[in-house]
Structure 1
Amino acid sequence: MKKIIAILTLVAVFASSAAFARDKSVSNKKVMDAFNKEFAGAEDVSWYSTKDKYVAKFTIKASKVTAHFDGEGNLLATSRYITDSELPLSVITKLMKKFPDQKIHNVVEYDANDNTTYVITLESETHWTVLKAQPSGYVTTLKKLQKA
């Protein structure tokens, strides 16, 4: 069940990735140069692409990261799993007040257009709650799912 919740969380943001073809490398030199410059030291890199979009999934410093590029090598967005201790204090404080009976199951940090967003999955005894949070502490509920 935990894996299903994590997958549902990512599907909303990466729905377009499902249509991508998987490549072990990318023939677009601009994209490869940008990737190597931005993510030096990346390991276990897998590429997915269409004719004008490129997605790299990789590990860097023990973090699983996904990066989206356009055909010109511009970094469009990144996402990575983070721990609850890496969330901004304003978000943690809001979660503790608004959802005291739930624990943080996982957190995905998204960066796009110089904006950071967190998708947080909370777990209680009876249900899962998927939230979207801004660094300011503004939190909205995306989904609430009953446990089987």
Structure 2
Amino acid sequence: MKNSILTCLALLFSSFVIAQKVNEKSIPNLVKSTFLISCHDQTNVKWEKEKENYEASFTIGKTQHSMLLDSNGNIIETEEEISVKKLPAKALAYVQKTYKNKKIKEAAKITDAHGIVTFEAQVTSIDLIFDKQGTYIKSIAD
């Protein structure tokens, strides 16, 4: 019991270390300017620091987005919320087969700095990552 409490506390502390909300004033100008040039029509921006990188979560129209940038203002990846129906058919089939009786809570399209597209499907507290064709790549625990 004592070990499980210590483990929970360690996990809780590490989650605070991984992503921390930051004030926009503490974001380097290079990071902010790259973000503003790339996403000039955004609203409701919230910043977090993830290790050495900066993540901006924001809205364009009615769609949630996020952008991960390094401290030099280079875009690492962008993420756009999509409807579950827009996931590749092969990914939907994988979830249906592997996670019977579970629903996909959220879905997103991720584009990295090289233009490579992947998809994310959140099932329970797990993010499932698929390639552009819908082939399963990996799971990430939230």
**Given that residues 120 and 131 in structure 1 are in contact (C-alpha distance below 8 angstroms), is that contact kept between their aligned partners in structure 2?**
yes
| Structure 1 pair 141–31 and aligned structure 2 pair: CA distance change class (3 A) | closer
| Structure 1 pair 50–95 and aligned structure 2 pair: CA distance change class (3 A) | closer
Over the aligned positions, Cα root-mean-square deviation in angstroms equals 3.4
Secondary structure of 2:59's match? strand
1:136 maps to 133
| Structure 1 pair 63–32 and aligned structure 2 pair: CA distance change class (3 A) | same
Percent identity of paired positions between Structure 1 and Structure 2? 19
2:120 maps to 119
Runs of at least 5 residues in structure 2 that lack an aligned partner in the other structure = 1-14
**Given that residues 21 and 50 in structure 1 are in contact (C-alpha distance below 8 angstroms), is that contact kept between their aligned partners in structure 2?**
no
**Given that residues 81 and 109 in structure 2 are in contact (C-alpha distance below 8 angstroms), is that contact kept between their aligned partners in structure 1?**
yes
Cα distance, 1:137 vs. partner?
Answer: 2.1
**Given that residues 80 and 108 in structure 1 are in contact (C-alpha distance below 8 angstroms), is that contact kept between their aligned partners in structure 2?**
yes
| Structure 1 pair 36–134 and aligned structure 2 pair: CA distance change class (3 A) | same
**Given that residues 17 and 51 in structure 2 are in contact (C-alpha distance below 8 angstroms), is that contact kept between their aligned partners in structure 1?**
no
Partners of 1:122 and 1:27 in 2: CA distance: 32
Cα distance, 1:59 vs. partner?
Answer: 1.2
Partners of 1:60 and 1:106 in 2: CA distance: 17
Could you report, residue by residue, the CA deviation over 1:27-70 in whole angstroms, capped at 9, with x for unpaired residues? 52221221111111111112234795222111112122221111
1:45 maps to 45
1:31 maps to 31
TM-score norm. by structure 2 comes to 0.65
TM-score norm. by structure 1 comes to 0.63
Partners of 1:40 and 1:17 in 2: CA distance: 27
Runs of at least 5 residues in structure 1 that lack an aligned partner in the other structure = 1-13
Partners of 1:77 and 1:116 in 2: CA distance: 10
